[in-house]
Structure 1
């Protein structure tokens, strides 16, 4: 089991707490000291105020934020959890990801997703009802762009003729792509086009808001992973297929820190179900608490499961 940890909750009323280069350097140093494998950031360029008031969060641009991490770290993988592919032209996304992979020496993990916030789609001028088709189109276009060969590809809103993307990513043929979502369609997309699948716990209202299947237990997750493995076998895949899962009992951004044994038990249960990475976020009211909890996680969790470098 490898760990990707949230970089830090953006606090726009106090930018210095999490959003300065100095703050990012302190957090990245703590993550590397603790033996965390990767850090992740989110993608919300234009969220609705009503969603923010109901507990949603704004975010820095993911590529800018991860570039800052790359500059102040040496080992951390740089994980987008997730980039909403329909929001951007796929060639711009491919260029940003390749650029980050190059300057970081090959540390990018490209977590991608379909998206679900209608207001954000509208603000960005992207048709919400076409988001699935736009993701499939973007995955194809980006992978062609990353070959380094001239690309001719006509999409819903672009017409690329003999374009060539340079520099190429350090990781070949491209950075690992993990596709999010809980539905059968999302799993099929991940197996067909990507290098991994990134589901998340969802029940009731959250499932309805995000427009994806409910996922409420490790048993349900194990069944979906088995389905993904069957699809891999059917397609004759031989390359690795990762599964990155948010723990069921640890929320993305808040809550009370669980005890070490509870975390270990859940990580081991997820690993037994076939999960290879876990995206973890600990309580982080301020940067001091973030650093303290990250170091605690390294000493009390990673050191006991053999995952600490």
Structure 2
């Protein structure tokens, strides 16, 4: 169900003047001084790069009913045996559209779309379509990509990805913010046509992942938030301070822009099990998880997207425990 302030009958063909921060997806997961929790698809434990993708709709609905703030999909165009992960298997746009129709209020995100591989006009159309069809629940994580096999498959050079990323984001926003206004970029030209639908706000909420081959000044000016990887607490605090300084210097009119991160999780049955580090994440009990999340909130992390791939327990059990014991400390915001 759409937020009551969002009217999907607003013109499909004219740019909106609404702020991205008024959209229900953004409002559900981001507010100053607050931390909320999301989940990556697949919502299951699995080894290797072959998830079963069974029961995902039921688990997504359980996550929404339990109070999670978001569900995120990943953009992994090709199965790469050296990378060892294919995410939710299905195309991210198709899968988001499917999940949007099966849920009501939970934010839907990408973590993250490989922008250089997408024609910027189709990128604009797909993003606005998901935004519209979900009632403003879409939060768009973007990245420049990092897997050589994928760049070869799409006929691109990795050294060009930063410039292509910037141009495609610019063209997408131009298409969203204008009607029949021409623009050119190295890969094409918009002349005499228009991209529809227009999104529900002036801009799709945009999270840049990592640096995406950009400097901090560009990210601070152009992103609505920064999505990055889990790190040690001292290093993460340092990254957050760098982000805040960049925003204050390069986008002071924006105020505070949020910081989000991923977190692979193995929630152990013993609620007091001490934390044991694993690749990019933690194996621990729920009480230690609450402490960890509280510390992340105190240093300025606004949203944590949990990944259950390394879990030693069934996903439904983990979701139920998180909903009962952890989410009351870090509830979604609307």
Per the normalisation by structure 2, the TM-score is: 0.76
Q: Give the RMSD, CA atoms, in angstroms.
A: 3.0
User: Contact conserved, 1:252 with 1:280, CA < 8 A, in 2?
Assistant: no
Equivalent in 78, 81, 96 of residue 126 of structure 2:
96
Partner deviation per Cα, 1:119-138 (whole Å, 9 max, x = no partner): 10110112211001111111
Partner deviation per Cα, 1:180-238 (whole Å, 9 max, x = no partner): 1158945433212110101113xxxxxxxxxxxxxx42222222221221222223232
Task: Determine the structure 1 residue equivalent to 2:93.
Answer: 63
Task: Determine the structure 2 residue equivalent to 1:200.
Answer: 229
Q: Distance in 1 between matches of 2:108 and 2:41?
A: 10
Runs of 5+ consecutive residues of structure 2 not aligned to the other structure: 1-34, 267-276
Partner deviation per Cα, 1:17-51 (whole Å, 9 max, x = no partner): 426xxx332022111121001101111112333x2
Q: Which runs of 4+ in 1 moved over 6 A?
A: 10-15, 248-256
Higher helix share: 1
Question: Using a 3 Å threshold, how does the CA distance of structure 1 residues 197 and 254 change in structure 2: closer, same or farther?
Answer: closer
User: Contact conserved, 2:263 with 2:281, CA < 8 A, in 1?
Assistant: no
After TM superposition, the structure 1 = structure 2 runs for residues 171-182 of structure 1, keeping only pairs within 5 Å, are 172-181=201-210
User: Contact conserved, 2:263 with 2:307, CA < 8 A, in 1?
Assistant: no
Question: Using a 3 Å threshold, how does the CA distance of structure 1 residues 13 and 306 change in structure 2: closer, same or farther?
Answer: closer
Task: Determine the structure 2 residue equivalent to 1:290.
Answer: 315
The residue matched to 2:195 in structure 1 has which SS?
coil
Task: Determine the structure 2 residue equivalent to 1:87.
Answer: 117
Task: Determine the structure 2 residue equivalent to 1:210.
Answer: none
Equivalent in 100, 109, 120 of residue 139 of structure 2:
109
Question: Using a 3 Å threshold, how does the CA distance of structure 1 residues 306 and 102 change in structure 2: closer, same or farther?
Answer: closer
Question: Using a 3 Å threshold, how does the CA distance of structure 1 residues 119 and 223 change in structure 2: closer, same or farther?
Answer: same
Deviation at residue 69 of structure 1 after TM alignment: 0.8
The residue matched to 1:146 in structure 2 has which SS?
helix
User: Contact conserved, 1:4 with 1:40, CA < 8 A, in 2?
Assistant: yes
Task: Determine the structure 1 residue equivalent to 2:56.
Answer: 24
Q: Distance in 1 between matches of 2:186 and 2:211?
A: 25
The residue matched to 2:253 in structure 1 has which SS?
coil
Task: Determine the structure 2 residue equivalent to 1:208.
Answer: none
